[in-house]
Structure 1
Amino acid sequence: MISRSHKQALLSVLIATVLGGAVVADADAQSRSSDRGGERRGGHGSTKAQVLYPEATREEPKGKPSSKMGGKLQKLFAAYNKDEYEETRKLADEIIAADGANDYDKAVANQLASQAAYNLDDNAAAKQYLQQAVTLNQLDNNGHFQAMLMLAQLQLQDEQYAEGLVNLDKYFAESKSHKPEELVIKGQALYQTEKYAEAIPVLKAAIAASPEPKDNWNQLLMAAYAEAGQTGEAVKEAEALAAKNPADKKAQLNLASMYMQADQMEKAAVVMDKLRAAGQLTEEREYKQLYSIYANTENKEKDVIAVINEGLSKGILKPDYQVYLALAQSYYYSDQIPQAIEAWQKAAPLSKDGETYLNLARVLHAEGRIPEAKQAARDAKAKGVKNPADADKIINLK
């Protein structure tokens, strides 16, 4: 399963790759025949007008700036084009509240105010302005649909998934956009709301439509397959991604994880061992993943031992209870009893209860080390065991 924090981080990354393409109508000439690039946080300059939505079903409104607001609109755009965002919001608010402003004036003012608010890190206000711009329904298709898309993205970023998905669905239905970088946002939103089966075809469409799909899109599709219980498809995605990026450690780790979920432990071990041989296992969780793979594979006790001891010697693995317990069990089942006892002696004090001490006592007793067995049994009782009588049997040995 994919953690919630990982999901949210991935959502933020995907949104950041798309958010910021808002198109703002250029009122310098008070004409609706040209546009200006509206998102400033990324440093975009002005762009020549182009039809962004040639297949849109929406008929563009015929609205024009009112004669009374012409001068105010010019000041508004002048402030915005100089990156004076506080002034932009102030002037936009004045137009929105003005009695002489028509719906087109207000729509444009809301649109520019939304960009200013976004650049001032006031997403709550940006969403309000965008909603008003969309509701007024006076912008050209470029501005209208970009406002709708940005609103949906900000809602998703703020975990307003239901609202964001409604706006995304409306956006795709009316704009007829097929842009892969926008489709992947919908796929991620569906994934985030645990609609994994619905997310899969959307993500596949995004990847198929892109000449160079990003690796994190494929990772998202792989995760959707896994969460939907389609482990075989998830493995295929992971294999393809790993083959495409043989030197990418993350892609290889993902492949190993998919093999583990598919209970293909031997394949997982091969992938992880290659990383280990190349010196690419540098984190504790990676060593734990590898020794866990071996621990869940028959006759691999010696490999568990080698990985744990290597991790401990490098200072990558912390000498904690789980590490020593896995080491003790692997020594024991490979008939290296003295080493198993030593590892259990290190694990037992770190345990939350006395059960590990009791197991140690039993092994010491089987090895004829009676005084040590009795002491371990006493330690077990002191720390707490489910059945104290089991410890008493060893303590009372003659």
Structure 2
Amino acid sequence: MKLRNSKTTLLSLALVAAFCGGAVLDANAARRGEQKKEEVLFPDTTRQEPEAKGSPKVLTKLNKLIEAYNKALDQEDEAKATAGYTTARTLADEIIANGSANAYDKALAAQIASQAALNTDDEAAAEGYLKQAIDANALGNNQHFQLMLQLAQLQLQKDDYTNGFVTLDKYLAESKSKRPADFAFKGQYLYQADRFAECIPPLKQAIETSTNPEDKVDNWTQILMVCYQEAGQLAEAVKVAEQLAAKSPNDKRAQMNLASIYLNSEQEAKAAAVLEKLRAAGLMTEEKDYRQLYLTYANMDGKEKDVIAVVNEGLQKGIVKPDYQTYLALAQAYYYSEQIPQAIEAWQKAAPLSKDGETYLNLARVLWQEGRVPEAKVAARAALDKGLKKPDDAKKIIALP
């Protein structure tokens, strides 16, 4: 969840303790340490709930801070809202520096300041305030641990993996959280950090323990599949891909992923079968779909006629571009299936589109083999004009009687 354009819930002389939710406290209740009943989000933590009592000496300042934040939050004018958040941060800084403020007052002020900073996209300042609120160790468990999670996210989303994972691991260790989303969060950022083997256990735990229909389990599973693949655990990647594909038979992305992993694990026949189902269902709507199928066939023995059928269908539908790679694949498939006239025709279309003269040279050789020497000489001259690594090969054809 990206925080930079979000707004914290309206306070109205109350404070939502963190971006994830938490206790709503009014200023007088904060001073007395009273708290509205809220769901216990971290029932397994061994951290004791602090007494969370504010100092009477800073109650007026705390009220003023909350009012300033609320006013900024309600402001529709962006410039005025920004000014309001700046005012809130100034008031929070005064409380943090106040000798009469206790740890709870300072933590609360730092927390409000962190949200004000986030609402003006000042993530560096927000990170500093979050650290102050956490280090004060004075907020309730719900608020304390959610701020810790928020800090980890800010660090990780700017690719500060060293500090981000330290913060995240501390959060998981101290909160004793068993929420699948938290493990998925860790797995996703390990994946983003290219730590593929490490991202597997937390993602598996998230997927296996999730019971919330709102959890994005399919997305987590997609990432798990890629992590297995990148970690070289292809058999496991295939299993996950097969599960996803079976669950969503009409999901083109899931089927294409399965085909790709089959190819990476050198199971071309299975990949081709998956792609052919997509083709039969009319789900091949992009050039890359057809290209993946005909290239798959091209890497299989005895599948030249399949290459030809797929390429020609793509061309007829206007999905496959009539470019160099297309005509080259077609020429080679025709040639190896002993359809030489069709191969020559395809090479004649491919050669002018080539970046050098090598394709013209191949065309010249085939024409010569077929006894079409004058045409072979024309192709050899074109090959020289476009450039060759070994020009003597073309010159030998040109010198033929």
Which of the five TM-score ranges fits, normalised by the shorter chain?
Answer: 0.7 to 0.9
Q: Following the alignment from structure 2 to structure 1, what is the Cα–Cα distance between the partners of residues 317 and 58?
A: 71
Structure 1 residue 234 corresponds to structure 2 residue 231: no
The residue correspondences of 1:290-369 to structure 2 (distance < 5 A) are 290-369=293-372
Looking at CA atoms only, which structure, 1 or 2, has the larger radius of gyration? 2
Contact 2:290 2:311 in 1 (8 A): yes
CA drift at 1:350: 1.9
Summarize the Cα distance change of 1:147–1:189 in structure 2 as closer, same or farther, 3 Å threshold. Answer: same
Distance 1:34 1:360, change over 3 A: farther
Q: CA deviation at 1:243?
A: 0.9
Task: Name which of 64, 71, 81 aligns with 2:60.
Answer: 71
Aligned: 1:58 with 2:24: no
Q: Which residue of 1 aligns with 2:87?
A: 90
Change (3 A) 1:372 1:354: same
Relative to structure 1, is the Cα distance of residues 127 and 313 closer, same or farther in structure 2, using a 3 angstrom cutoff? farther
- Output the amino acid matched with 1:56: T
- What is the deviation of 1:152? 1.0
- Please report how far the alpha carbon of residue 221 of structure 1 lies from its aligned counterpart in structure 2 after TM superposition: 0.9
Query: 1:331: Cα distance to partner?
Result: 1.0
Distance 1:25 1:104 in 2: 15
Which residue among 247, 260, 264 is the counterpart of 1:244? 247
Q: Does 1:266 find its partner at 2:269?
A: yes
User: Residues 123 and 285 of structure 1: is their aligned pair in 2 closer, same or farther, counting only changes over 3 Å?
Assistant: farther
Matches within 5 A, 1:176-215: 176-211=176-211, 212=213, 214-215=217-218
In structure 2, how many angstroms separate the alpha carbons of the residues matched to 1:116 and 1:377?
Answer: 73
TM-score by length of 1: 0.87
2:39 partner SS = coil
User: What is the CA-CA distance between 1:156 and the residue it aligns to?
Assistant: 1.8
Is 1:61–1:139's contact at 8 Å kept on the other side of the alignment? yes
**Aligned AA for 1:29?**
N
- 2:38 aligns to what? 49
Change (3 A) 1:198 1:375: same
Do the aligned partners of 2:347 and 2:359 also contact (CA within 8 Å) in 1? yes
CA distance in 1 between partners of 2:152 and 2:142 (Å): 16
Deviations along 1:296-348, one digit per CA (max 9) or x if unpaired, are: 11111111111111212222222222111111111111111111112112222
Q: Which moved more, 1:183-192 or 1:134-143?
A: 134-143
Change (3 A) 1:112 1:394: same
**Percent of residue pairs bearing the same amino acid type:** 59
The alpha carbon displacement at 1:294 in A equals 1.0
2:284 aligned residue (259, 281, 286): 281
Aligned-pair CA distance for 1:33: 4.0
Contact 1:22/1:147 (<8 A) preserved: no
Distance 1:136 1:312 in 2: 67
| Match in the other structure for 2:258 | 255
Q: CA RMSD in A?
A: 2.3
Q: Does 2:131 correspond to 1:131?
A: yes
Q: What is the CA-CA distance between 1:192 and the residue it aligns to?
A: 2.1
Structure 1's 33 and 259: CA in aligned 2 closer, same or farther, altered over 3 A? Answer: farther
Letter in 2 for 1:316: I
